[in-house]
Structure formats: structure tokens, C-alpha cells
């Protein structure tokens, strides 16, 4: 569940805590405290979790939750296709990001929870890029 908590915190930070908190009807300090994975004294409730997903438009926390429970989220809508070369180059870049993160994580002989979360996040980007490539091949 630590990865879920870290993904929630990352979603809050990426969306901008002040803007997100305003949309949720709470102070940004309260939102940061509740989403902080290192603070066990404050936790989000289900409604707040759902609001973060909706307002941030970031489903990574939900993907991590599904993964923890042994499931994978599958998007209903396919991404828009791109130029085939552009889609392939983007996929290669995302794959390179995963390779770099794994290489860096293994440098000290152990993979920390934070490094695992970053690697899994980048793997998600590879999956998304692969879907774009698939749609681009169909459209070519």
C-alpha cells in the first residue's frame, strides 16, 4: 500500500496542491498532510481520494491500488494515433527511461521503495506509449 500512498502524494504535487485543495474545498496544508505517505496521523478518506483522481486527472494512484489487489486497469478509450515514426521514437525514449531508472536503482545493490515506485511509474508510461504505437500502426 505504500506505493498507493506515494502515488497519491505525487498526484497531489503534480496537480498543484493549492489548486487541487481549492477544488476539493479544503486547505492545501490539510491536503498535503493527508496525502503525505510519511505521516500516519493524517489519512485521506474515500471521497478525498476520488476527488484527487477526478480533479488531478491522474489515475496512477488507482492503478497502484488495482495492482496491489492483483488487477490491472485497462483504458476504455484508445489514445489518438501519431505519426508512426514519432510514436516509435517516443516508445523508445520511455523504454530508455525505464532502463536508466533500473540501472541507477541497482547501482547500490538494492532497490528502495521509492525507486520501485519510480520504475513502476515509468513502466506505466511505456504501456501508454505502446498503446499509442499500436493505434498509430492501425492508422498507418
Residue 77 covered by a domain: no
What is the band of 77 on the pLDDT scale with cuts at 50, 70, 90? confident
Range of the domain at 31: 2-68
Residue 114 covered by a domain: yes
Q: How many residues in the chain?
A: 140
What is the band of 23 on the pLDDT scale with cuts at 50, 70, 90? very high
Q: Are residues 95 and 46 in the same domain?
A: no
| pLDDT on residue 78 | 81
Q: Are residues 90 and 120 in the same domain?
A: yes
The SS3 call for residue 42 is: coil
pLDDT tens for each residue of 25-76: 999 999 999 999 998 888 999 999 999 999 999 999 999 999 999 999 987 7
Residue 128, pLDDT above cutoff 80: yes
Instruction: Say which CATH number the domain at 22 has.
Output: 1.10.260
Residue 51 covered by a domain: yes
Q: Are residues 55 and 109 in the same domain?
A: no
Question: Taking residues 2-25, what's their average pLDDT?
Answer: 95
Q: Are residues 48 and 8 in the same domain?
A: yes
Please tell me the distance from the alpha carbon of residue 84 to that of residue 99, in angstroms, as a whole number: 23
Residue 7 covered by a domain: yes
Residue 135 covered by a domain: yes
| pLDDT on residue 63 | 94
Amino acid at each position: 500500500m505504500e506505493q498507493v500512498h506515494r502515488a497519491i502524494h505525487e498526484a497531489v504535487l503534480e496537480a498543484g496542491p493549492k489548486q487541487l485543495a481549492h477544488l476539493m474545498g479544503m486547505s492545501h496544508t490539510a491536503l498535503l498532510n493527508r496525502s503525505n505517505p510519511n505521516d500516519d496521523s493524517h489519512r485521506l478518506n474515500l471521497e478525498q481520494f476520488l476527488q484527487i483522481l477526478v480533479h488531478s486527472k491522474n489515475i496512477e494512484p488507482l492503478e497502484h491500488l488495482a495492482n496491489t489487489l492483483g488487477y490491472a486497469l485497462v483504458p476504455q478509450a484508445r489514445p489518438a494515433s501519431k505519426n508512426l515514426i514519432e510514436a516509435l521514437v517516443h516508445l523508445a525514449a520511455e523504454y530508455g527511461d525505464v532502463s536508466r531508472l533500473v540501472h541507477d536503482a541497482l547501482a547500490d545493490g538494492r532497490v528502495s521503495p521509492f525507486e520501485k515506485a519510480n520504475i513502476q511509474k515509468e513502466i506505466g508510461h511505456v504501456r501508454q506509449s505502446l498503446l499509442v504505437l499500436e493505434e498509430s500502426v492501425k492508422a498507418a
